[in-house]
Amino acid sequence: MSNLKKILTNKISCKSVWFMRQAGRYLPEFREIRKKNKDFIKLCLNSNLSSEITLQPIKRYNLDSAIIFSDILMTPYALGQNITFTKKEGPKLNEFRIESLNKNNKEKFSKKLNPVYKAIEITRKKLEKEKSLICFIGAPWTLLIYMLGLKKHNNRLDLNKYNKYKTQFNEILLELNGYLCTHIENQINAGADVVQIFDSWAGLIPEKDIKDFCYVPNKKIVDFCRSNKIATICFPKGLKKNYEVFNNFVRPDGINLDAELDPQWAKNNLKNVVIQGGLDPKILLQTDEVILEVATKYIKAFKDIPYVFNLGHGLLPETDPDKVKMLINFYRNYNE
Ligand code: 1CP
């Protein structure tokens, strides 16, 4: 069993570090591949390259876990929605049609994502046994944000659209749940051993609707995983104090803190769960002294409970890879 899975399932303490977006734009070796592969979706569907990119940060830093190079938007892609990535504006999806969900079936969906599963197979063979291969999905709500274009350019919720489509949300979320469970199952069968569920836009949901659109859909997926002995890490970013309500309702094996949460508050209020991450990725743009001071705050806060060292969101493209190395060495050599 990989170290990360052991920590998550047995709730044991053991040093373990990986970073969200560890395979990505801050690495020159990734940018080299990306330059020659302008179509991002095609790149995600190139099993050999996807595996190579997944392993880049492992080779560079010997991290404890690899996360498969893919994207949460591969789910709407596999459901037939057209997606393009523009450098300035990020992902653009064409208009979503609710009928597309019913027109798809699990076989068709799985077939479209087969290259992702192949990439997992290739990667698992090359990865040391103790290292985890993490797969992931976007939580139903966060996928809705992109599929229906519910977020404005300033990253606020588009309330007009929200109210216009709201009556359809439950039906879409339920349909998505089925496809997402299939996607998890396929990734695990291919050799992944932990799943991270990214609800990156949970913080945009109006308070009175959080239960319906965040807690309940996440719980359905975590329950499915638990019944199949799949270890889960949830990331309900932006929930503030509702992280506690989320944790008690959803009961994942692990929970990734965002950078807004105070680590001490998290330690006192998030129980029966392995805590992961929290450190603001923006800190890595600062001096070594500042980086180490803030990192120490996290390491100290969680020193006597199981903790997986990670960030409060993905590594930023402008991060210096040497700072990442410095931080990893500091964490690994930290003794108290
Ligand atoms: O080179 C490029 O322009 C592509 C940049 C890029 C990369 C490297 C995108 C576009 N996706 C990815 C890979 C990716 N995405 C991974 C791979 C593995 C790793 O972490 O190392 C993962 C786990 C994701 C997950 C993802 N995609 C999330 C959830 C995590 C988060 O950051 O909140 C989200 C919201 C996306 C959507 C997405 N994909 C890409 C972009 C630029 C975005 C975000 C757009 C936005 O801010 O709305």
Q: Is 24 in the pocket of ligand 1 (CB under 6 A)?
A: yes
Question: What pLDDT sits at residue 257?
Answer: 98
Q: Residues 72-115: pLDDT tens digits?
A: 999 999 999 999 988 777 899 999 888 888 888 999 999 999 99
Pairing of strands 90-93, 83-86: antiparallel
- pLDDT for 177 equals 97
pLDDT digits over 289-301, tens only?
Answer: 999 999 999 999 9
Q: Which atom of ligand 1 is nearest to the CA of 198?
A: 29
pLDDT in tens, 188-216: 999 999 999 999 999 999 999 999 999 99
Rounded CA-CA distance 112/172 in Å is: 20
Any idea where the domains of the chain sit in the sequence? 3-333
Mean pLDDT confidence for 27-36: 98
Residue 234 pairs with which residues in a beta bridge? 197, 255
Identify the CA nearest to 295 among candidates 314, 312, 320: 312
Other Cβ atoms less than 10 A from the Cβ of 260: the count is 15
User: What separation in Å is there between the alpha carbon of 52 and the centre of ligand 1?
Assistant: 17
Smallest CA separation from ligand 1 atom 22, residue: 71
* Average pLDDT, rounded, for the chain: 96
Residue 217 predicted with pLDDT over 90:
yes
**Ligand 1 atom 18 nearest Cα:** 69
Give 314 Cα–ligand 1 centroid separation in angstroms.
Answer: 8
Q: How many angstroms separate the alpha carbon of residue 78 from the centre of ligand 1?
A: 17
Q: In whole angstroms, what is the distance from residue 263 CA to residue 323 CA?
A: 22
**Does ligand 1 have an atom closer than 6 angstroms to the CB of 20?**
yes
The whole-number pLDDT of residue 320 equals 98
Measured in Å, residue 77 CA sits from the centre of ligand 1 at: 14
CATH classification of 3-333, choosing from 3.40.190.10, 3.40.1370.10, 3.30.70.380, 3.20.20.210? 3.20.20.210
Task: Kindly state if the Cβ of 180 falls inside 6 Å of ligand 1.
Answer: no
Place of tokens 């999905």: 137
The alpha carbon of 196 is separated from its chain's Cα centroid by a whole number of angstroms, namely 5
Cβ of residue 136 lying under 6 Å from some atom of ligand 1: yes
Identify the pLDDT of residue 249.
Answer: 98
Residue 245 has pLDDT above 80, yes or no: yes
Q: Is the CB of 16 under 6 A from ligand 1?
A: no
Residue nearest to atom 44 of ligand 1 (CA): 90
pLDDT in tens, 248-294: 999 999 999 999 999 999 999 999 999 999 999 999 999 999 999 99
The pLDDT of residue 103: 82
Share of the chain above pLDDT 90, in %: 94
| Nearest Cα residue to 67 out of 233, 263, 279 | 233
Task: Tell how far CA 182 is from the center of its chain.
Answer: 17
Q: Cα-Cα-Cα-Cα dihedral of 322, 324, 325, 326, to 10°?
A: 90
Question: Does the pLDDT at position 14 exceed 90?
Answer: yes
Please tell me the distance between residue 334's alpha carbon and the centre of ligand 1 in angstroms: 30
Among 137, 145, 134, CA closest to 181? 137
Q: What is the pLDDT of residue 86?
A: 82
21 C-beta closer than 6 A to ligand 1: yes
Phi/psi of residue 309, each to 5°?
Answer: -75, 130
User: What's the chain look like in SS3?
Assistant: CCHHHHHHHHCCCCCCECCCCCCCCCCHHHHHHHHHCCCHHHHHCCHHHHHHHHHHHHHHHCCCEEECCCCCCHHHHHCCCCEEEECCCEEEECCCCCHHHHHCCHHHHHHHCHHHHHHHHHHHHHCCCCCEEEEEEECHHHHHHHHCCCECCCCCECHHHHHHHHHHHHHHHHHHHHHHHHHHHHHHHHCCCEEEEECCCHHHCCHHHHHHHHHHHHHHHHHHHHHCCCEEEEECCCCCCHHHHHHHHHCCCEEEECCCCCHHHHHHHCCCCEEEECECHHHHHCCHHHHHHHHHHHHHHCCCCCEEECECCCCCCCCCHHHHHHHHHHHHHCCC
Q: Which class for 267: exposed (0-12), middle (13-18), buried (19 or more C-beta within 10 A)? A: middle
Q: What is the pLDDT of residue 9?
A: 97
Residue 256 phi, psi dihedral angles, 5° rounding? -90, 120
Closest C-alpha to ligand 1, atom 14: 71
CA–centroid distance for 207 within its chain:
23
